[in-house]
Chain A
Amino acid sequence: MNQREKEEYLREYGILKAQGKPFFPYAVAKDGAMAVVVMAIIITMSLVLGAELGPKANPTTTTYVPRPEWYFFFLFEVLRVIKPPSLVPLATIGVPTIGMILLFLLPFFDRGPERRPERRPIAMVTFVTVFGAMAFLTYQGANAGSPFAVEKPTPPAVKQAGGATLAEYELGKAVVTSSGCLACHKLGENGNSGPGPDLTHIASRLPAQGIARTLVNPTAPMPSFKNLPAQRFNAVVAFLSQLK
């Protein structure tokens, strides 16, 4: 905005303001009504949804899938989607930092005098894209597990068998996901590549009995999983022995 546009704006605004209504009571009444609505929503949510308290924090378990508050899901999702370690800092800190700096500087690079949305196409496209992307990532993040989730397509043989085989496979996958295996093992695209060996094709290396033996009696630092309930233990073995 150049000096003339600034003065024009101030003059136009001055007239509109003079034609307006006093803040008290007109705007105050609307704000008050809105405040009542906000409080009603908070109170209703508290009454209906309550406040649960999970099990006590236990730093020695590795069996917990961390979930942030929902409005951080989009960040979590970025972390989950971007896998190569060299890109992770960019994803986790870089993207939000750049986003924040751009947000800070918005009034300094978008200085055109135009305020009507329909005449600011670049701003509107950016707005829709950013909000759309955040909504999409939040939705994805809400439905996905942690960054440690296992994303391997179910083998067709298991899919065809269906029924109990499929159910056991899925259960095994869920247990592996939630037992912290990926903190030490790589599985397909997911997980860390150490200290344990890559499990992507474990079944071609180790028969089911071997896997079961490792789970019961592993070499340190891998913890023993012999205390898993039998059904879940067998499911893990069944799942891993499909990973050819």
Chain B
Amino acid sequence: MPKLPKLPAPPLPAALQEPPPRPGESNGKGGPIEDAKAAGINVVDWVDERTSLSGAGRWLMFRKVPKGTNWFYTLGSATMFAFLSQAVTGVFLAMYYRPDPAGGAYESIRHVTNEVFLGQFVRGMHKWGSSVMVILVFLHMGRTFLFGAYKYPRELNWVIGVVLLILTMVMSFTGYLLPFDQRAYWATIVGVNINGTGPLIGPYLSDFLRAGPEFGATTLSRFYAIHMLLLPGAIVALIGAHLYLVAKLGTTAPPWMKAEQNPELRKVDV
């Protein structure tokens, strides 16, 4: 293509020309559509100017995952989504639940199940979601074990993972009592008594869980507080730490992957 001649400069002297808009400003020429397009960018810019979060976002989202990353690597985030689903459905259940062993607890669950719009559906999601989450945690743990992902430098992430596993199981144990039907009550009594047979701290642990030597009025509210405040908080914090380490260290490549030697790199230029 032949070189085109340059257009002549505009007739105005430079000093009189309107300067192009600076980032975050509009010269009013784009019209409302351009302004609307720019609005999102402006908001992000505004926040970023004050927080410098965009670097963290880039670091998190545009890091590379190694060659060979496959579907098994989705099990961790799938666990996280199951947990989020539990959190959301749990909030809705908490709007109706009353931790009152004298009948209020059972009655409030009966009300949710039978009368509240979509109540049984949400309760079912919470109930079966717990099973799904437990299965996913175990699958994810199996994956990291088989791939040797707990080895250097990811030992700490494995340890955090084991704590998450225990917390998930305790979540399920404390949640099981809350509907306060026969099954919940007797299974929990047996569970607490099993704890009590443990060495050293066993009796103290079961006294703590029961809020006293007998299964009484405060037991239920104690289980409820542990189930919906203490443990979810701890789990959220630990998932944060877990994911920070994942992003910091990178996920493992599948163990059978070998780095190809790029022949280009071996060429010696003389």
Q: Which residues of A contact B (CB under 8 A)?
A: 1, 6, 9-10, 12-13, 15-24, 26-28, 30-31, 33-35, 37-39, 41-43, 45-47, 49-51, 53-59, 61, 64-72, 75, 79, 88-89, 92-94, 97, 100, 103-104, 106-108, 110-117, 120, 123, 127, 131, 146-147
Q: Which of B77, B155, B176, B253 contacts A35 (CB 8 A)?
A: B77
Beta-carbon contact of B197 and A57 below 8 Å:
no
**Cross-chain contact B65 with A26 (CB below 8 angstroms):** yes
Whether the Cβ atoms of B64 and A18 lie closer than 8 Å is yes
- The CA of A88 and the CA of B121, in the complex, are separated in Å by 40
A70: chain B residues within 8 A (beta carbon): 131
Q: When the two chains form the complex, which single residue of B64, B183, B195 contacts A23, counting CB atoms closer than 8 Å? A: B64
Q: Is the CB of A67 within 8 A of B187?
A: yes
Contact present for B142 and A131 (CB under 8 Å): yes
B251-264 interface bits toward A, Cβ cutoff 8 Å, 1 = contact, 0 = none: 01101111110000
Residue of A45, A58, A61, A115 with most partner-chain B CB within 10 A? A115
Given contacts A21-B65, A49-B124, A93-B198, contact A107 B158 (CB under 8 A): yes
Chain B contacts to A: CB under 8 angstroms: 60-69, 71, 73-75, 77-78, 81-82, 85, 101, 103, 106, 109-110, 113, 120-132, 134, 136, 142, 145-148, 150-155, 158-159, 162, 165-166, 169, 172-173, 176, 179-187, 189-191, 194-195, 197-199, 202, 215, 250, 252-253, 255-260
In the complex, chain B residues whose CB is within 8 Å of the CB of A19: 66-67, 259-260
A71 cross-chain contacts in B, Cβ below 8 A: 131, 134, 169, 172
Q: Name the one of A9, A57, A110, A117 contacting B146, with C-beta atoms under 8 angstroms.
A: A117
A51 B65 Cβ-Cβ under 8 A = no
Given that A51-B127, A56-B181 are known contacts, is A89 also in contact with B120, CB under 8 Å in the complex?
Answer: no
Q: A51-B127, A55-B182, A68-B187 are in contact. Are A111 and B152 (CB under 8 A)?
A: yes
Q: Which A residues are in CB contact (< 8 Å) with B190?
A: 66, 68, 146-147
Contact status of A46 and B77, CB under 8 A, knowing A56-B180, A79-B194:
no
Is A56 within 8 A of B106, CB to CB? yes
B150:A42 contact, CB within 8 angstroms: no
Residues in B with CB closer than 8 Å to A117 are 146-148, 255
Q: Which residues of B contact A106 (CB under 8 A)?
A: 145, 150, 158
Nearest first, the 5 closest Cβ-Cβ pairs linking A and B are: A46-B124, A115-B148, A93-B198, A57-B185, A107-B155
Give 12 CB contacts A-B under 8 Å: A34-B71, A45-B131, A46-B128, A56-B181, A57-B182, A59-B215, A61-B182, A68-B176, A69-B130, A71-B131, A89-B199, A107-B158
A31 & B194 in contact (Cβ 8 Å cutoff):
no
Say yes or no: A38 contacts B184, CB within 8 Å: no
Whether B152 pairs with A6 at a CB distance below 8 angstroms is: yes
Q: A16-B259, A64-B186, A110-B151 are in contact. Are A31 and B172 (CB under 8 A)?
A: no
Please name the residue on chain B nearest to A61 by beta carbon.
Answer: B182
Within the complex, which residue of A21, A54, A120 is in contact with B64, where a contact is CB–CB below 8 Å? A21
Taking a contact as CB atoms under 8 Å apart, the answer to whether A57 and B202 are in contact is no
Expressed in whole angstroms, the Cα–Cα distance for A94 and B120 within the complex equals: 39
Is the pair B176, A16 in contact by a Cβ cutoff of 8 Å?
A: no
Given A34-B77, A51-B123, A68-B190, decide whether A23 and B182 contact each other with a Cβ distance below 8 A: no
Asked whether A93 lies within 8 Å of B199 as measured between CB atoms, the reply is yes
Which of A46, A59, A65 has the most chain B CB atoms closer than 10 A to its own CB?
Answer: A46
Q: Is the CB of B185 within 8 A of A22?
A: no
Residues of chain B within 8 A of A37, CB atoms compared: 78
A66 touching B85 by the CB < 8 A rule?
Answer: no
Residues from chain A with Cβ under 8 Å of B260 in the complex = 19
Residue among B73, B113, B183, B185 with the most chain A CB within 10 A? B183
